[in-house]
Amino acid sequence: MITYLLSLVCSLYASGGTQEVAQVENHSVRIVGSFRDNTSKDFLRKSTIRAVFKSGKKMTYETNANGVYEIVVPDSTQFLTFESEGYQSQTLPVTFIGKISSHATFPVMPEMVHKDSLQVSGTLTQLLLVSFQLPDEMDVNHSITKNNSSYYMINTNYRKEYNKGKHWPSLPFPLAKGTYEYKSTTPEGKKLFFKQFEMKDGLNFIEVIPQPEESLLPPAMALTDQVLYFSQSTYELSEEVKTSLDAISKALLAQPQTKLQITGHTDNVGESDKNLILSEYRAKVVASYLEQKGVSTSQLVVEWKGAAAPAVSNDVEDNKVKNRRVELKVL
């Protein structure tokens, strides 16, 4: 997939588009590209781009004689519509992630679908478009992750193999909606760029510029009292609970002076002494998980109460579910 995207970028920057840029206002973003038939991959000569801004103002741009467009739109742009005669139009929402400098350039290359095709949309439905402002002599590794799972990894070898050692001006990445982290580091591990962002529908634009290392720490989650729930008669951590504990561990690591009280509870089903042991296991498995993530034991206060302190009455099953829990209280 990455190799295919690189070839698209190469074809665009080799085309030498020289259309006059329409500068519409300050805080603007440069977008370049060309239209292609989604089946034959042939470039389309005559196409139109329409932009709609938050102010309600609209502007129309045309590709040049070579089928290439180069436009500058304000960062208040809300929608871009791509049109070619005989093809279905594509209208996509636009999101700018953080501030975009005047040096950034983004490739947007719509693949158009014939009007008589059964396919109802093109290929640009959801993209992260990244513009790089990095010195060519600097080796940089990039990663896009979600919930600690890698979606894309780009290392030095890509630019050395495909772009004669130079950093790519920009690249597109197809991503589903959700919260991601974009990181850029040197091969030695020095942090160059970090951004948490929300991937939204349509075209999402972000610029990667080296930042001071002290500004690159991810923001700590605000620690608040929480409740973690367990299935009946078990102390196994669900995936949902693990996700919550992952975020809590990051916050505790960023706030080493903060302590967390962990209290295990059960419903009233079964013998009281066995419930006390179960509540102990629930509290200790939560503490153990946080310690495995690097949290100091000195930050954790662990206790358990069995069925002695229900959150609600144990009169019905729906209430018993609420009592099978571990309470987390920030001290």
CATH number, position 275: 3.30.1330.60
Domain containing residue 246: 226-330
Residues 167 and 230 in one domain: no
Highest averaged pLDDT of the listed ranges 15-24, 82-91, 169-178: 82-91
146 falls within a domain = no
Question: Rounded mean pLDDT of 139-152?
Answer: 84
Residues 23 and 164 in one domain: yes
Q: Which residues contact 281 (CB under 8 A, 6 or more apart)?
A: 235, 264
Q: Is pLDDT of 76 > 70?
A: yes
Give the pLDDT confidence score for residue 3 in this predicted structure: 42
Give the integer Cα–Cα distance in Å for 251 and 330.
11
Helix axes 239-254, 272-292, angle to 10 degrees: 50
Highest averaged pLDDT of the listed ranges 51-60, 251-260, 282-291: 282-291
Q: Is pLDDT of 21 > 50?
A: no
Q: Is pLDDT of 247 > 80?
A: yes
13 falls within a domain = yes
259 falls within a domain = yes
Q: Which residues contact 123 (CB under 8 A, 6 or more apart)?
A: 38, 110, 111
148 falls within a domain = no
CATH number at residue 6: 2.60.40.1120
Residues 168 and 237 in one domain: no
Confidence of residue 68 (pLDDT cuts 50, 70, 90): very high
262 falls within a domain = yes
Give the residue with greater pLDDT, 187 vs 87: 87
Question: Rounded mean pLDDT of 156-168?
Answer: 77
184 falls within a domain = no
Give the pLDDT confidence score for residue 15 in this predicted structure: 47
Question: Rounded mean pLDDT of 249-269?
Answer: 91
Residues 234 and 101 in one domain: no
Confidence of residue 1 (pLDDT cuts 50, 70, 90): very low
Residues 230 and 169 in one domain: no
CA distances from 255 to 12, 195, 221, 244, 248 (A): 47, 20, 10, 17, 10
Residues 160 and 270 in one domain: no
26 falls within a domain = yes
Give the residue with greater pLDDT, 82 vs 28: 82
Q: Is pLDDT of 186 > 60?
A: yes
Q: Nearest-CA neighbor of 106 among 31, 206, 168, 9?
A: 31
Residues 54 and 160 in one domain: yes
Give the pLDDT confidence score for residue 253 in this predicted structure: 83
Give the pLDDT confidence score for residue 87 in this predicted structure: 94
The count of domains in the chain is 2
Question: Rounded mean pLDDT of 18-22?
Answer: 40
114: which DSSP letter? B
Task: For the chain, state the CA radius of gyration.
Answer: 26
Helices and strands counted in the chain (H then E):
5, 20
Residues 7 and 123 in one domain: yes
Residues 271 and 130 in one domain: no
Q: Which residues contact 214 (CB under 8 A, 6 or more apart)?
A: none
Question: Rounded mean pLDDT of 70-85?
Answer: 93
What is the residue-averaged pLDDT of the chain?
Answer: 85
Residues 164 and 230 in one domain: no
Q: Which residues contact 314 (CB under 8 A, 6 or more apart)?
A: 267, 268, 269, 307, 320, 323
Residues 169 and 281 in one domain: no
CA distances from 302 to 200, 287, 289 (A): 40, 7, 13
Residues 326 and 254 in one domain: yes
Residue 89 has which token pair? 């139009």
297 falls within a domain = yes
